[in-house]
Amino acid sequence: MSELKERILKEMVVDYKSALEKNFNTVKRFLAITKDGTVHLHVDKKKLSGKQLILIYLIGKIYAKEAGCSDVDHATNKELMDELGLPEGSVWGYLSQLNNENRIRQVGKGAYRIPVNLIEKTLSEISSKVGENDGRTG
């Protein structure tokens, strides 16, 4: 195998399962997943922005899909409004901003997902925002 090919495989190829495994303990501090694929956040929502709530929810959707609890790794505008309790106009604005910042990808009409390569960065931001506790409220 050529040296360049080895470097590309080692340094540039994203291993989806490895990224999820690496961030597993951090993710489980912030959310839980039901058997039907619903994501429940257990962070102090007052400490996070609407954009951060959407990002952590979308991370949960990836884990729900990987666990076989959901058929999809993305969420719709309506799901985000219903599950996060955010108004429609706010959700649309946050999604638009996140999409423009390349933090999420649109995968269908009104459906979005977070790229796997942004999970670690997003979790780091959220961890610092919620403080040194374990992410749980109460």
The tens digit of pLDDT for each residue in 49-92 reads 999 999 999 999 999 999 999 999 999 999 999 999 999 899 99
Beta-bridge partners for 40: 32
User: Which structural domains are found in the chain, ordered by start?
Assistant: 3-129 (1.10.10.10)
Q: In terms of Cα–Cα distance, which of 79, 43, 38, 45 is closest to 60? A: 38
> What's the predicted TM-score (pTM) here?
0.84
Distances (CA, A) of 52 to 29, 40, 43, 109: 15, 14, 11, 21
* Residue 14: predicted pLDDT: 65
